[in-house]
Amino acid sequence: MALEFNDGNIKEIINSGKPVVIDFWAEWCGPCRMVGPVVEELAKEYDGKVTIGKMDVDENVETPEIYGIRNIPTILFFKDGQLVDKQVGVAQKSVLAAKVEALL
32 in catalytic set = yes
Strand ranges (E), 1-104: 3-4, 20-25, 51-56, 74-79, 82-88
Residue 84 is a catalytic residue: no
Determine which one of 2, 14, 32, 57 is catalytic. Answer: 32
Catalytic residue among 10, 20, 29, 96: 29
Burial of 67 from C-beta contacts in 10 A (0-12 / 13-18 / 19+): middle
Residues labelled as active-site residues: 29, 32
